[in-house]
Amino acid sequence: MSATVIRRSTPASIRVWEAQVVTVWRAWKSSALLSMLQPLVFLGGMGFGVGALVDERSGSTAALGGLGYLAFLGPALMATTAMQTATFEASYPVMDGFKWRRAFEAMTATPVAPRDVVNGMVLWWASRILLGVTGVALVLGAIPTTRGWGLIPAALGATLCGMVFATAMGAWASTRESEASFAAVQRFIIIPLFLFGGAFYPVDSLPSALRPVAWITPLWHGVELSRGLTTSGITFAAACGHLAYLAVLTAIGYIICRITFHRRLTR
């Protein structure tokens, strides 16, 4: 009897989140392993391999803000991982919930409201992004040049960066009837951001006409925030500015998600 009472008192959004957890629970070990293996392989190739060549060049440390290439690249991977994880989790799984399994429709046939579906999915996106970012942080914590307590706030900042992409992608996916556009989003938005968002080299090295474009992207703010917090190379005002920018974009994306999910589930 008490279990029934507890179950009914659980907020509907938590039950939606729980449904996503149950769906992927069987694969949690492989997900956790990949969250650490992927950044380890990437850091091995880019951080230690390419990084060794970059650090040999005179003036490279000054160009990277006084950092070695591994220390420059490593924290940025938290933000890029957050972006990539977010765009996947808010695309195909959302399409699955609306069209393939129609789980969202089944949920709203119960006392669960469309806003509860949105809130539950937002909680799930944040959980999944944080898991991926934590895997990168654990790898960075094992490397002397990137180890430090700053990894903890940097991971949270990267998660906020990922939520910008999750809410935007979730809003887009909830208006689609097929997954055809998802590949185009990856090819023309996510990959260019990955390459030109300041993760691999300073944005100041881009042509002057392209720098403002990079500066307004959420990934650049996430990279700068993660890197600055990890290396203690950011002022309090700058950190607050990055956080505020990412928070505003996340709030806008969330509001749009509320609208698009409600329209899809009540039409």
Asked whether residue 7 is domain-assigned, the answer is no
Question: Is 192 domain-assigned?
Answer: yes
Q: Please, what sign has the CA dihedral across residues 264, 171, 82, 118?
A: negative
- Contact assessment for residue 52 and residue 99, using Cβ atoms and an 8 Å cutoff: no
The tokens describing 158, both together, are 């990267």
**How far is 70 from 234, CA to CA, in rounded Å?**
18
Residues 6+ apart with CB under 8 A from 236: none
Say what the pLDDT of residue 5 is. 44
Alpha helix (H) residue ranges in the chain: 2-9, 12-24, 28-42, 51-56, 60-63, 69-89, 92-95, 103-108, 114-141, 151-173, 180-185, 191-196, 211-215, 218-231, 236-266
Is 157 a member of any domain? yes
In a domain, 17, yes or no: yes
Q: Is residue 104 part of a domain?
A: yes
Residue type at position 74: G
pLDDT tens-place string over residues 161-209? 999 999 999 999 999 999 999 999 999 999 999 999 999 999 999 999 9
Q: Establish if 240 belongs to a structural domain.
A: yes
Q: If DSSP states are collapsed to H, E and C, what string results for 70-124?
A: HHHHHHHHHHHHHHHHHHHHCCHHHHHHHHHCCHHHHHHCCCCCHHHHHHHHHHH
Range of the domain at 224: 12-266
The single-letter code of the amino acid at 73 is L
Residue 5 in any domain: the answer is no
- Per-residue pLDDT tens digits of the chain, which is 267 residues long: 444 444 457 899 999 999 998 887 776 667 667 767 777 787 777 777 777 778 777 777 788 888 898 899 999 999 999 999 999 999 999 999 999 999 999 999 999 999 999 999 999 999 999 999 999 999 899 888 889 999 999 999 999 999 999 999 999 999 999 999 999 999 999 999 999 999 999 999 999 999 999 999 999 999 999 999 999 889 999 999 999 999 999 999 999 999 999 999 998
Choose among 102, 207, 236, 225: nearest CA to 164.
225
Q: How many domains would you assign to the chain?
A: 1
Residue 2 in any domain: the answer is no
Distance from the Cα of residue 104 to its chain's centroid = 23
Residue 59: both structure tokens together? 């003036």
Question: Which residues, other chains included, contact 97 with Cβ-Cβ below 8 Å and sequence gap of 6+?
Answer: 103, 104, 117, 121
Q: Are 157 and 240 in contact (CB under 8 A)?
A: no
How confident is the model over 223-236, as pLDDT tens digits?
A: 999 999 999 889 99
